[in-house]
Amino acid sequence: MKNPTKIILTLVAAAILIILVVVLTNKQSSESNTPGIKTTNENLLVGNWIRTDFEYRISISKINEDGTLAAQYFNPNQINVGKASWAESYGNLKIIIELRDVNYPGSTYTLNYLPDRDMLAGEYYQAVEGLTFYVEFIRKH
């Protein structure tokens, strides 16, 4: 007959091992699926950005926690910014700047921050003509 103490110790060790595997698996799964984990710092958006094809400039001076941002636009003179916002999704930063001025009745920049190139890239909707263009902005140092 086998030693009952050995059998009990073996069963306890197996149960502990199973519990550890389940706990560690659940912890890794919940960490990888937790929304709201930031992977990009939104303050990287702050600065002066020059469009690569023209001397148009976006100046971002402040990122607000409510999803708005303090921004100015120059072409080359200042154009009124109606709304400016930012969002972080899946580690990516995106900004939307809507222009509201003479000849800018809702023209909109929708740009993504590309951290590997430290640039903003995306679309410019030119409201007067109803056309959309691909644009890029590089940081002015």
11-51 pLDDT tens trace: 666 656 566 555 555 544 444 444 544 567 999 999 999 99
pLDDT of residue 15: 59
Q: What is the DSSP letter of 132?
A: E
Q: Domain count of the chain?
A: 2
Residue 97 belongs to domain spanning:
43-140
Lowest mean pLDDT among 11-25, 73-87, 95-109, 110-124: 11-25
Residues 83 and 114 in one domain: yes
Residues 2 and 53 in one domain: no
CB 134 within 8 A of CB 122: yes
Residues 64 and 26 in one domain: no
Residues 85 and 109 in one domain: yes
Long-range contacts, 32-38 (Cβ 8 Å, 24+) = 38/88, 38/91
Residues 76 and 112 in one domain: yes
Q: In the chain, pLDDT over 70 holds for what percent of residues? A: 74
Residues 29 and 97 in one domain: no
Closest by CA position to 140, among listed 85, 78, 94, 74: 74
pLDDT of residue 10: 66
